[in-house]
Amino acid sequence: MMRAFTALLIAIAMSVAALSVAVDEKPLADPAKEAMARDLMKELRCVVCQNQSIEDSNADIARDLRQIVRERIAMGDTPDNVKAYLVDRYGDYVLLEPPFKKSTYFLWGSPFIFLGLVLYMVLRSRKAPVVPKPLSADEQAELEKILGKREEDK
């Protein structure tokens, strides 16, 4: 049932939505603000799409969110304020860039953590000298036999 609902939701969203993104929307009068708004839109996730920002998406709700972004920027909100506004409603999910907080320290640190770990393992295995295993009693006897034979041949 869930599957059908999701598929239908997407189909509805797509069929109802206008196709061209942001085109019938009026850009803000102030070009600097419009640029700020557009940059912000690229950082906000379209909450019903797969992996699209609201800037890229054709979905209806993306268009609503774009309007909200424009309105708030025009009103004087900073991009951070607008992000906070949307996070209040949709959670951190709406940010394409995961926030930097306790629960994401590991995520953001992962390149360095992994690099450090791997380099450590690599360097450690280099330092370990290759020491040949000591011979077992049989092998020792064998060796002596060969050496003894050589002595005889001489």
- Least Cβ distance, residue 140 to other proteins (angstroms): 21
- Least Cβ distance, residue 154 to other proteins (angstroms): 25
The residue (of 103 and 149) whose beta carbon lies closer to other proteins is 103
- Residue 53's SS3 state is strand
The residue (of 24 and 153) whose beta carbon lies closer to other proteins is 24
- Least Cβ distance, residue 92 to other proteins (angstroms): 4
Instruction: Kindly list the residues in this chain that would bind other proteins in the complex (CB under 8 A).
Output: 1-6, 8-9, 11-16, 18-24, 27, 43, 45, 47-48, 50-53, 56, 60-61, 64-65, 68, 87-99, 103-104, 106-108, 110-112, 114-115, 118-119, 121-122, 125, 130
Q: How far apart are CA 24 and CA 47, in angstroms?
A: 21
The residue (of 105 and 145) whose beta carbon lies closer to other proteins is 105
Give the CA distances from residue 144 to residues 14, 115, 135, 137, 141, in Å, rounded to whole numbers and listed in that order.
84, 49, 11, 11, 5
* CA–centroid distance for 27 within its chain: 30
The residue (of 8 and 135) whose beta carbon lies closer to other proteins is 8
The residue (of 81 and 103) whose beta carbon lies closer to other proteins is 103
- Least Cβ distance, residue 138 to other proteins (angstroms): 20
Report the candidate in 17, 74, 91 with the shortest Cα–Cα distance to residue 40.
74
